[in-house]
Amino acid sequence: MDLKAPFTRHGSALLTLIAAIFGPVASANVVGNDTQNFNPTTNGLDFVTVQSSETLDPGIFNFGLFVNQARNTLPRLRDRTTNEFPAGSGDQLLGMDLNVGVGILPNLDIGLSLPQILDQKVDDTDSPRGQFSQRGNTEVRINAKYRLLGTDAAGFAMAGSVNFNRLKDNPYAGQKGGPTYNVEALADTTWKAFALALNVGYRLRDKGEEIFSGSPIDPLGNQWIASTAASYRFDEYDTKAIAEIFTSWPVIKASDNTNRASSSAEFLLGAKHDVSHNLALHVGLGRELSQGISSPDLRIYAGLNWNMGPQFNRHNDPTTPEEAEPKKRPKPATDPFSLPPKAEEKIIINDLLFAFDSDKEIVNDPHSILSRLVVHLKKGPGWKKLIIDGYTDSLGNNQYNLTLSYRRASNIRKRLIEEFKLEPNRIMAVGHGAENPIAKNNNYQGRRLNRRVELRIYRK
């Protein structure tokens, strides 16, 4: 029996890209082509295959490349002569996932996955078994996630995905089988350096008929899916330890005469290291908790997530007042520059963001923001002191970040003096390093928000 995975042709690749933009959407784990339970998330946030409730901010892109080698995952079939299953085989399967995710709207992101079979090794070729006849793309997965509520510390979201099988004669999908649909509820919470997540959902399979009469593998039916994850971040090493469990089991048990059950359960233990502000490296191991479809004796994986942006919606981050609580993502609020002046004011400027490792390159146009600040300063009884507080993300050592944050605050002070002719003796620059983050430092978009300045205004 052969499970054939044809290579992607140029026409189907174009259709895939069109589908990724306009088609149905979402992301889940334990999806795959039923020979690949390891499915990294397309947005690259927080964990490996388990999803948090957080979504990519509008205009932020994530590109992922993961490679994994799994031992003993291909199906072993009953020998019709002896009516027995073959002994442990030791097959090796090398797979790769190519992912892209993008934030579309606040609280909404979409993604595309293209799993590949790179190589396989089957030692026991005499025993009845399933294997791939050809390397290449096995399926197309399109996904989307919408966050219903939450802060930077906790939240709740819904995710959905659709899988298009590209394997020829895939007995798990059946002849003329249709797409597989997945719907999941996602919840997560963070406490200090710890993070927890739980995903539960339902998989609806449009299964086809048996490939041939008397096939030893029945097409899979609908399934329940669930997964959970925990992580701990070591800030001094810019590294997070991650543990995950992902499972699936049938809604109705089918007559299955292979020794691979319709259920699966796998444990994963790995690490995510932030190499730079936009590049993260993943490495880890996994193994089956119970023998099921594609649950390996041992899995080794490595991957990269690379972020960029925002490529559009650059002015989405509003300037927000002091009410934005620490450790919570600032939310759109009334423009503080339009409010009546107070004796003491604190303003967080979220759209005055610095590029990584820079005190001069500002992501957005600073002149219009500082112009509005000067107008606000001159309202009412006038001002006696302006303190500019500079901040960095957590990457790098403490002393370097303190110096960098001071240089950022000094940059703004210099602009106010030189461009707007404010009195130097009434403006002070202070550097705080990575203290008091307003977003997570464990992913690209959180670190981006933490590279900021805050203004404290004192009036006469």
pLDDT digits (tens, 9 = 90+) for 415-458: 899 999 999 999 999 999 988 888 888 888 888 888 888 889 99
- Alpha carbon dihedral 250, 292, 299, 303, in 10-degree steps, equals -20
> Which domains occur in the chain, in start order?
2-308 (2.40.160.40), 319-459 (3.30.1330.60)
Q: Is the pLDDT of residue 194 over 50?
A: yes
Lowest mean pLDDT: which of 37-41, 153-157, 316-320, 338-342?
316-320
Angle at 442 between CA 327 and CA 154, to 5 degrees: 45
Average pLDDT of 56-73? 94
Q: What is the CB-side half-sphere exposure of residue 129 using CA atoms within 13 A? A: 23
Taking alpha carbons only, the member of 133, 292, 290, 129 closest to residue 216 is 129
pLDDT tens for 347-377 read: 877 655 555 555 565 656 677 788 888 888 8
Query: Rounded to an integer, what distance in angstroms lies between the CA atom of residue 388 and that of residue 415?
Result: 12
Question: Beta-carbon neighbour count of residue 7 at 10 Å?
Answer: 11
Residue 396 three-state SS: coil
* E strand segments, 4-59: none
Choice between 328 and 370, residue whose per-residue pLDDT is larger: 370
Lowest mean pLDDT: which of 115-129, 169-183, 267-281, 343-357?
343-357
Q: Is the pLDDT of residue 197 over 90?
A: yes
Label residue 63 by pLDDT band (50, 70, 90): very high
Q: Considering the entire predicted model, what is its pTM?
A: 0.80
Query: What mean pLDDT, rounded, does the chain reach?
Result: 80
